[in-house]
Amino acid sequence: MVGGSGEKYLLKVLARHADRYNLFFGSPDEMERKISLLKEYCSSIGRNYKEDIQYSVVLPCIIRESEDEVNKVLAQNKRKDKSMEEYSRYLVSSVMVGTPEKVLQGIRKYLDIGVRHFVLHFIGLNNNAISRLFDSKVIRRI
């Protein structure tokens, strides 16, 4: 597995040597761009970017039953070096912050472009109820 966001060197190394690519906190659009570039690099050396390489992503995730609850978690976990607006934009851009339906839609965006492995960093995960919520309303609906 090769992970990172470099496009000129890293993706070339990946095309030649790896069987999995991992993007850290990348949006679906960013991942789609990386896969498109990887397709070109793989084609130039005779590799099949769809069959020979798996795709994974590391993402922050805040999941709650309501947007009000999500906003509370955002406020409790805001980074000190960011304003609330910056922090929300940073996390929300990952499409994995919100109600179960919104998180499910975010996962589907990645699935649609070929991502099959997810490493989720659950923010504000403080009890089993949150993991049961994710299991019952997201995982079981994929």
- pLDDT tens sequence across 71-107: 898 888 877 787 777 776 666 566 889 999 999 999 9
Does position 6 have pLDDT exceeding 80, yes or no? yes
Residue-wise pLDDT tens digits, 13-44: 999 999 999 999 889 999 999 999 999 999 99
Domains and CATH numbers, the chain: 2-141 (3.20.20.30)
> Reduced to 3 DSSP states, what percent helix, strand and coil does the chain have, rounded to the nearest 5?
50, 20, 30
pLDDT of residue 126: 74
Mean pLDDT of 118-124: 91
Cβ contact 41:11 at 8 Å: yes
Q: What is the pLDDT of residue 61?
A: 92
- Taking only the tens place, the pLDDT of each residue in 44-62 is 999 999 999 999 999 999 9
If you average pLDDT over every residue of the chain, what do you get?
90
Residue 120 three-state SS: strand
